[in-house]
Structure 1
Amino acid sequence: MTVIVRDFRAPQDAAGAARVQRAALPFLLVSAESLAFDLAHAHPLARFRPLVAEEDGAIVGTAQVGLAHDSPEPGVGYANVFVHPEHRGRGAGSSIVRAAEEYLAAAGATSAYSWVLDEPAHRAFAERLGYRPSRPAYFLRLDLATAKLPRLRTPPEGVRIVPASAFANDPRPLFELDAETTADEPGDVDAEFTDYEHWLAETWGHPLFSRELTSVAVVDGRPVAFSAARTDGSARYGTSMTGTAGDFRGRGLAKLAKNDSLHRARAAGFTEAFTGNDAGNGPMLAINKWFGYEICATEVRHVRTLG
């Protein structure tokens, strides 16, 4: 059987690529619409180029490939590879990696980062291709249908909890809060959000982003903590980011926002909740444990020097 690696084409490849991603990493929320959207709204500086691997005309693998344009460190590339479990060991993964590395090197990347499941076969595959392990991170799951969520309590005086849709007329304050909290996230690749117009298109307008299930703590009209929610058209819900402005930390506002979002999600009929945390993010891991989340998988970020 011959494996062919080529560029992802939207919309015709979107359903097949989404199917592969869900099978390879079921803890990640994705849809055909979101994959097509990601390609259409990628930042020009990201040089984003998703790939697919075909076997006998069927998509059996895919990869998200590009430059970390929002990193203050130049030359950082990424290639996150997914191969359908039923088609592993036939060359799709290694073929995609080679194509991704060639593209990244030509685009000016000096390093390639890739998330790898912390399982012997996956780690051995990465190491054979010259990747060395870096930081681990966790996927966490909560059975939202049966979980005993903390009761909703009245916020402290001067604090309101509202959905993100309350900022529909002017989302910029949420952008500023997202930028501040993202800059503080632990990880081996830093990120800085500076492009508000791109954030509007790529984050605020993303088809997985739920403005009604995203909860925001507000003080004097300013958003100071939030829990950003995503849904993929199924009964699954995920939080992609939970954070608090630096001058409001230590007051339990992130917990308030996340609890509100979880209650909203369950009331809307969602039965599974997913999230992810860097292994070094002790405060957020503690919050998620308090809600009842359990680690369901571990990934280890790997890196290879290019050139």
Structure 2
Amino acid sequence: MTVIVREMRSDVPADLAGFARVRRRALPFVLFTPESLAHTATRMHPGAHYRPLVAEADGEVIGTAQVLLSHDSPVPGQGNVNVYVDPAHTGRGAGALLVRTAEEHLAARGAVRLLSWVLDTPDNRAFAERRGYRGSRSAYFLRLDLAAGRLPPLQDPPPGVELRRGSDYAADPRPLFELDAETAADEPGDVASDLTDYAAWLEETWHNPLLSHDLTSVAVVDGRPAAFTLAHTDGATRYSTAMTGTAEAFRGRGLAKLAKNDSLHRARAAGVREAFTGNDTGNEPMIAVNRWFGYEVCATEVRYVRELG
């Protein structure tokens, strides 16, 4: 049975559905929909040289790869290769073909360092190490059962603090961009990020089909967004935190908890049954916050790095 690798066609529904299906089976902690995949494929910044790949056997998509350069990094040449194969179709060479195709694409566009998130299992880690990748930092996927679990009770905002929704910024989301840029700069990671391109943020973040403006919550102090949680949903029963953060001047006041609790309560009332998030394993303050909500670790991934000669 021959496996081929080719670019995902964003205008072909079967390609989008196949990519989303594989990711749901291999990585159920992250939200993907055909609509969000098409959006990313057509709206990603040109400097990312984004190329979504699929591995196909007998007309069926059995593997996927997201391949891009970190265009917003101050250090050039940082490439990303994230490969996932349907668990029912591993061992057929799809992963190896996807990695090779992805590496060739990035090397031809100036990549000098490749980074890949790998689920923390012996087979997956051995696969990466055989191809010259070395393990680096790690991160948790966490899950919250909103249907059966219990959230902390809602609290009134403290004096001087107001809770708003992302939809309140529909006419001018720039204040949320500025808050996102400040908090993203403090995120632990292997690649630094300078979030300075407002137009790109609008395309990639604000207009992402997964982003729920209504379930996004913002804690506002003196008219300024001070803390927020960006909420993604699949349009049905699954929710994911895209980002939670607090501006440096307002930290230590529990505002991120306030915003996230507000968002989770409203998500549950809207019929969401499970919520996901992710944290670097060294981000102890945010892990503690998520455990306070009732999140539990459901998987671990490891960042693997390969330097190109």
Q: Which residue of 1 aligns with 2:242?
A: 240
Choose from 218, 221, 226 the match for 2:228: 226
In structure 1, what is the Cα distance between the partners aligned to 2:151 and 2:186?
A: 27
Q: Hey, what's the Cα distance between the residues in 1 that align with 2:71 and 2:304? A: 19
1:79, 1:97 within 8 Å by CA — same for their partners in 2? Answer: yes
Query: Where do residues 1-307 of structure 1 align in structure 2 (5 Å cutoff)?
Result: 1-12=1-12, 13-307=15-309
3-state SS, counterpart of residue 62 of structure 1:
strand
Alignment length, in residue pairs? 307
CA contact (8 A) 2:49 2:69 kept: yes
CA apart distance, 1:169: 1.1
**What 5-or-longer segments of structure 2 have no aligned partner?**
none
Q: 1:148, CA displacement in angstroms?
A: 1.5
Provide the TM-score with structure 2 as the length reference. Answer: 0.98
One-letter code aligned to 2:22: V
Structure 1: gaps (5+ residues): none
Q: Which amino acid aligns with 2:171?
A: N
User: Does the Cα contact within 8 Å between 1:243 and 1:254 map onto a contact in 2?
Assistant: yes
Post-superposition shift, 1:163?
0.7
**Contact 2:140/2:301 (8 A) holds in 1:** yes
The superposition leaves residues 246-291 of structure 1 with CA deviations (integer Å, 9 ceiling, x where unpaired) of 0000000000000000000000000101000011111100000111
What percentage of aligned pairs have identical amino acids?
67
Q: Aligned-pair distance for 1:233?
A: 2.4
Counterpart CA distance in 1 for 2:131 and 2:70 is 21
Q: CA deviation at 1:129?
A: 1.1
Q: How much has 1:234 moved relative to structure 2?
A: 2.6
Instruction: Give SS of 2:243's match.
Output: strand
Q: How far did residue 153 of structure 1 move?
A: 1.0
Q: State the one-letter code of the partner of 1:56.
A: D
Give the TM-score of the pair, scaled to structure 1: 0.99
Query: What CA distance in whole angstroms lies between the structure 2 residues aligned with 1:51 and 1:148?
Result: 40
* Structure 2 Cα separation of the partners of residues 120 and 157 of structure 1: 51
State the distance in 2 between where 1:226 and 1:90 align.
Answer: 44
- Aligned mates of 1:202, 1:98 — CA distance in 2: 27
State the alpha-carbon separation in 2 of the partners of residues 259 and 147 from structure 1: 13
Q: 2: distance between equivalents of 1:97 and 1:285?
A: 32
Q: What displacement does 1:11 show?
A: 2.7
Q: Deviations over 1:73-117 (max 9, x none)?
A: 111000100100011000000000000001100000001100000
Q: Letter of the aligned partner of 2:72 in structure 1?
A: D
| Structure 1: 4+ residue segments shifted above 4 A | none
